[in-house]
Structure 1
């Protein structure tokens, strides 16, 4: 099982999943460029694209001699997983997309345009905190919001805006052009209070015949942290229910 974190995070955001999932699966936790232990950022690369990052993930599988795997992502990680699927659908056994991002919802797009105007006038962490409260505004989102902000400090302003520019440029066009692979069992796990991204998922996920949507009530965007027991249970149950489960290798 390959786990891919969200923007500004790192593999450490899966701390509430590791104990449960490692009992069933062999885990590989990816640090995306510029995040966590991956010091090679996308600002250091002339080719800044979703597919470039997806190819880097595939190289990890090649290095470990893994032909195919289950993929679990949160937020940005769900975009990268779908880019991997676009390049090599045969290597994606299942996709579990938590807090899935598919296109930028209009209120968030307005905020991003505002950021474009003021990004050089204020510290980027102010903007990141504003984004955190926009995505996770309620009191019960506090832990996820705190982790979201703490992790982002390590990213740095230059790398943050390289990711920002990449997503603003490529995200909507990627999903407008993306091919549909009905063969890949897909589970969307969304917080009922994920106001920025749940509306889009409700509208678009039905295009995939082999997809399911599970909504966790009283939960925000980063559902793997806010409601980890439900998230973990749904991940394991989904893979088992699709006949994709085998005993963990030694």
Structure 2
């Protein structure tokens, strides 16, 4: 099972918020969120397989591939272990893909989704990066690749803190594990296309940095096509907006979860089958 950590409030009715990090990171990337969120919610932090303190998770075969469904079900296993029936999910970067996949596999477990630095579609530059990575992943040290990708995605001086945080966390991931995760890029295009075409109707807040040049344009489009979806752009921030501008990220995310939790409770009492846009 994944390594996880929980913070629980005395109020047994407090909603759960689950944080999901991206590839190469760990639950430690949420260090700027924990203090504020535990004032209001029960909080669950997970380290995805091969990351952080979940390095002990092994597959039946040393070189066995796994997919997004495998990784998503790892999270569901933790929810089951803790008897968490439903939660609000917050993800960053590739973690947003896992949350979106959760809404497909177990939609009844997802109260709302907050997508930080959401990956919705791969633009031409992103596709070129993925192609180059697959071409050179066996001849170029993986940390060179990861550092190069981090610089392309977060190029500005004010992104330096986020860039270094993710690079330093990635150094803790074994090379074989990195290769397994990189193979997931083959699944990305068809999976993202499916996500874009299907509207779950689950309340979703996209929190994007205004300088997230790789992924913000696609989010601007998707919110016009999906119901119960909203976009808030955070100034002076890049892809990893929870680190670049933690106060803005926290205040907007907390307000959204509180609002969705309140609306959901009201609709439950009224016997309505689905949350409507508010």
TM-score clears 0.5: yes
Q: How many residue pairs end up in the alignment?
A: 244
Distance in 2, matches of 1:53 and 1:132, equals 22
Change (3 A) 1:100 1:177: same
Cα shift readout 1:163-199 (whole Å, capped 9, x = no counterpart): 1111x211121122233211x1100000111111111
What are the ranges of 5 or more consecutive residues in structure 1 without an aligned counterpart? none
Distance in 1, matches of 2:66 and 2:168, equals 25
Change (3 A) 1:177 1:149: same
Distance in 1, matches of 2:264 and 2:90, equals 15
Change (3 A) 1:134 1:29: same
Instruction: For residue 224 of structure 2, give the secondary structure of its aligned residue in structure 1.
Output: helix
Aligned 8 A contact 1:135 1:221 in 2:
yes
**Aligned equivalent of 1:161:** 179
Distance in 2, matches of 1:117 and 1:47, equals 18
Instruction: For residue 23 of structure 2, give the secondary structure of its aligned residue in structure 1.
Output: coil
Instruction: For residue 237 of structure 2, give the secondary structure of its aligned residue in structure 1.
Output: coil
**Aligned equivalent of 2:19:** 3
Cα shift readout 1:72-111 (whole Å, capped 9, x = no counterpart): 0000110001111101111100100000011222101102
Aligned-pair distance for 1:219?
Answer: 0.6
**More divergent stretch after superposition (204-213 vs 73-82):** 204-213
Cα shift readout 1:18-43 (whole Å, capped 9, x = no counterpart): 00001001111011110000021568
Change (3 A) 1:205 1:29: same
Give the TM-score of the pair, scaled to structure 2.
0.84
Aligned 8 A contact 1:41 1:159 in 2:
no
Is 1:139 the counterpart of 2:157 in the alignment? yes
Change (3 A) 1:86 1:112: same
* Large movers: runs of 4+ above 6 Å: none
Partner of residue 181 from structure 1, selected from 200, 217, 231: 200
**Aligned equivalent of 1:78:** 96
Higher RCO (C-alpha 8 Å, min separation 6) = 1
Change (3 A) 1:245 1:17: farther
**More divergent stretch after superposition (80-89 vs 42-51):** 42-51
RMSD: 1.7
Instruction: For residue 206 of structure 1, give the secondary structure of its aligned residue in structure 2.
Output: coil
**Aligned equivalent of 1:26:** 42
**Aligned equivalent of 1:104:** 122
Give the TM-score of the pair, scaled to structure 1.
0.93
What are the ranges of 5 or more consecutive residues in structure 2 without an aligned counterpart? 1-16, 266-278
**More divergent stretch after superposition (110-119 vs 208-217):** 110-119
State the structure with more CA Rg: 2
Is 1:125 the counterpart of 2:143 in the alignment? yes
Is 1:209 the counterpart of 2:227 in the alignment? yes
Is 1:95 the counterpart of 2:119 in the alignment? no
Distance in 1, matches of 2:215 and 2:193, equals 16
Aligned 8 A contact 1:71 1:94 in 2:
yes
Distance in 2, matches of 1:13 and 1:169, equals 26
**Aligned equivalent of 1:231:** 249
